[in-house]
Amino acid sequence: PPPPLSFPELEVVHEEFSEVSLDLPYIPGFLAFREVTPLVALLQKGKREHPALTPQVVFVDGFGILHPSRFGHACHLGVLADIPTIGIGKNMLSVDGLDRARVETEVAAAQ
């Protein structure tokens, strides 16, 4: 996770990292099974060692409920770490028939 920031200054107040070896291959749609365990461990370490700096919310590089399975990387991390998460995906996936082409069509029609 990114370092905690002060508000409203947005200055870094603490940084923590861990180097890990990932044993599972990357499989599209199953990122959480590969990457969540070390992230949970890092968040738990932070809670133990610096409880005052425990994040109130974590922004995750990956989908949450907008994942095709409705439970992506962000959801896995939030449930396992017991911290609210917001998933931020790089590419829009199709959700309930709403895909990039339909969004572009709707935006163009509204203009």
What CA–CA distance (Å, rounded) separates 58 from 83?
Answer: 7
pLDDT attached to residue 99: 77
Reference 80, options 35, 18, 49; nearest CA is 35
What pLDDT does residue 103 have? Answer: 80
pLDDT under 50: residue ranges of the chain: none
pLDDT of 28: 86
Full-model pTM: 0.78
